[in-house]
Every structure is written in structure tokens, then in C-alpha cells.
């Protein structure tokens, strides 16, 4: 898992960029590591609650954080601490979203599946009717946030550095900056990765997994944890299916094998085919919110 495998580098900070205001700030350095555990760096906690910790060894085990010394059980102990703290913040995020009637969706996929293009088309289709705000997750660049702004929606870019997924405290801080109004939709475009984002609850209503026809039909079998965690699966780039020998029936069968309850949507964000089904899905999800339109 990312908190222990080394894919998150303390020397490569997590940053938030607001393209509209031209602001860039450091959220934190290194992986989320449990309450009060900060690897000796300044950590902006969710919704502006910051703490500084100093330790002669550059390592703070305060606030009941498990001490991790030696090889036996250290990975499990740290993973439990990371996920427990993440889940605590995610629960707070979820309460905030539900209290304001904000539909928060966590879009997950491998790189290049078409998440950003789908968001652009969704923003254009719902313009003037439903306000959409977007949290963009990538390791580097603000390219996708700029694309979202050009499509007509507000966006915050989170750059995770060496990290391969978003975490709940990142979403909390980005949401604070975006402040989506009641009845709106918050789209969280996660870092392109079908492994670690399955483990991290962000407080979203559901995960929406996106696969594209050039990837083949077996992605749900190769990455079952992600597709099992998704409430809906979008098969994108259906216009390319005849050119890449994509078997839609087999793909559906593989999805059903790992997640019989997932809602399936087939579309092409590029041509617009099937977009009506996706927009209808969003309308149904908004009606299920306790507050809002």
C-alpha cells in the first residue's frame, strides 16, 4: 500500500493549484500517516486545521500513533493507521456533502481511459442547469484543471507528486477551497490507477470506474478490488470497439463476475454516443440525495 511501499516521497509534496486565482499551496509532504503523524513536516489538516510536530529523530509518534520499529508487523500496523485516519476524514467529508446535498462522485480509471474528456462533455451538457465543480488528481501538471476551466466549471488541481491516489484530507482541503453550493455535483477525478484508489474512501457517494475499449475486456478480472468497489462502471470509447476487437458482452460478463450490482453505462465521450444514459444516471443520483434539487 502507498503509505508503506514508498510510492509517496516526502521530498515531493502534495500541492493544490487553483487555476482561476493562480494560487498554488503545499498541502502536505508524504503519505497520510495517522493522527498527528507528520514525518517532521508541516501538515495542513482538513479544513485548515494545521499542526506542527518536531522530534529529534524527525519522526513523531504522538496522538496514539503506533510505533513502528522492526520487521514484524510494521506494514500492517502502518496500513491500519493510514486507513483509519483516512476513513475518519472521509466520514466528515461525507457528512458535509450529504448535509449540503452535494453529489460527490469519485471517478477512477487507468490513465487514458477518458475521464477528463467525459467531464468536459458532462459540463457542457449540463451548463446552465446544474453547477459542477471538479477536483483533479494527477501526479504533476495542472493540464486537466485548465481543460475543466475551459469547459466552464471551477476546478482545483491536486498534484500528488510520487503518490498514486487521492486521500480524504486532500479532498477535504480542495472542497474547502471550491465550496460547492447546495444541489451541485462535485466530480473527483482520481489519479489514473486501478489499484490504490480502491482502498481509500474520500467521502464520495460512490466510485465510478471507467474503462475504455482499447484496454480490453479483462480489466475487471485483473483489478477486481476496484471494480468491486465501484457503484457504476462506464465503458468509454465504444466508437473504437470495431477497430480494437472489443467484445462488449464479454466485458459485461467480467464486470458482473466481480460486481453483479454495478450499473453499466456504455458511451463515447468523443462522439456523444450513450451520453444521454450517463446524464440520466446523474439525474437519478441527484434525486437520491436527501437535500438539493
| Confidence at residue 9, expressed as pLDDT on a 0 to 100 scale | 60
76 within domain boundaries: no
What is the domain-level CATH number for residue 144?
3.40.50.300
| Confidence at residue 36, expressed as pLDDT on a 0 to 100 scale | 38
212 within domain boundaries: yes
Task: State mean pLDDT over 81-106.
Answer: 95
20 within domain boundaries: no
| Confidence at residue 261, expressed as pLDDT on a 0 to 100 scale | 97
281 within domain boundaries: yes
Tens digit of each residue's pLDDT (9 = 90 or more) over 44-56? 333 333 334 343 3
110 within domain boundaries: yes
* Position 73 pLDDT exceeds 70: no
130 within domain boundaries: yes
123 within domain boundaries: yes
| Confidence at residue 13, expressed as pLDDT on a 0 to 100 scale | 83
* Position 263 pLDDT exceeds 70: yes
pTM above 0.95, yes or no: no
Q: Which of 138, 83, 149, 131 is nearest to 107 (CA)?
A: 138
Counting the structural domains of the chain, the total is: 1
pLDDT more than 90, % of the chain: 67
193 within domain boundaries: yes
Least confident of 47-51, 69-73, 129-133: 47-51
Q: What mean pLDDT value characterizes the chain? A: 83
Query: Domain range spanning residue 212?
Result: 82-288
How would you write the chain as a 3-class SS string? CHHHHCCCCCCCCEEEEECCCCEEEEEECCCCCCCCCCCCCCEECHHHCEECCCCCCCCCCCCCCCCCCCCCCHHHHHHHHHHHHHHHHHHHHHHHHHHHCCEEEEEEECCCCCHHHHHHHHHHHHCCCCCEEEEEEECCCCHHHHHHHHHCCEEEEEECCCCCCCCHHHHHHHHHHHCCCCCCEEEEECCCCCCHHHCCCCCCCEEEEEEEHHHCCCHHHHCHHHHHHEEEEEEECHHHHHHCCCCHHHHHHHHHHHCCCCEEEECCCCCCCCHHHHHHHHHHHHHCCCCCC
Amino acid at each position: 500500500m502507498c503509505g508503506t511501499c514508498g510510492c509517496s516521497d516526502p521530498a515531493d509534496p502534495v500541492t493544490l493549484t487553483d487555476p482561476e486565482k493562480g494560487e498554488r499551496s503545499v498541502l502536505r509532504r508524504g503519505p497520510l500517516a495517522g493522527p498527528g503523524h507528520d514525518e517532521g513536516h508541516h501538515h495542513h489538516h482538513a479544513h485548515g486545521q494545521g499542526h506542527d510536530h518536531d522530534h529529534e529523530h524527525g519522526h513523531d509518534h504522538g496522538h496514539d500513533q503506533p510505533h513502528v520499529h522492526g520487521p514484524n508487523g510494521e506494514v500492517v500496523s502502518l496500513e491500519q493507521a493510514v486507513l483509519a485516519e483516512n476513513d475518519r476524514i472521509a466520514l466528515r467529508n461525507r457528512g458535509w456533502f450529504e448535509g449540503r446535498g452535494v453529489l460527490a462522485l469519485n471517478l477512477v480509471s487507468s490513465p487514458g481511459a477518458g475521464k477528463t474528456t467525459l467531464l468536459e462533455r458532462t459540463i457542457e451538457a449540463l451548463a446552465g442547469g446544474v453547477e459542477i465543480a471538479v477536483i483533479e488528481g494527477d501526479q504533476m501538471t495542472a493540464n486537466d484543471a485548465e481543460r475543466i476551466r475551459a469547459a466552464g466549471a471551477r476546478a482545483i488541481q491536486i498534484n500528488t507528486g510520487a503518490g498514486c491516489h487521492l486521500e480524504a484530507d486532500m479532498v477535504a482541503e480542495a472542497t474547502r477551497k471550491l465550496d460547492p453550493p447546495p444541489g451541485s455535483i462535485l466530480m473527483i477525478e482520481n489519479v489514473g490507477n486501478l489499484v490504490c484508489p480502491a482502498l481509500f474512501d474520500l467521502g464520495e457517494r460512490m466510485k465510478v470506474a471507467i474503462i475504455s475499449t482499447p484496454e480490453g475486456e479483462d480489466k475487471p478480472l485483473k483489478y477486481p478490488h476496484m471494480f468491486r468497489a465501484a457503484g457504476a462502471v462506464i465503458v468509454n470509447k465504444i466508437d473504437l470497439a470495431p477497430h480494437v476487437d472489443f467484445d462488449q458482452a464479454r466485458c459485461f460478463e467480467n464486470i458482473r463476475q466481480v460486481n453483479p450490482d454495478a450499473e453499466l453505462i456504455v458511451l463515447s465521450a468523443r462522439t456523444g454516443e450513450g451520453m444521454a444514459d450517463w446524464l440520466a444516471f446523474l439525474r437519478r443520483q441527484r434525486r437520491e440525495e436527501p437535500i438539493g434539487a
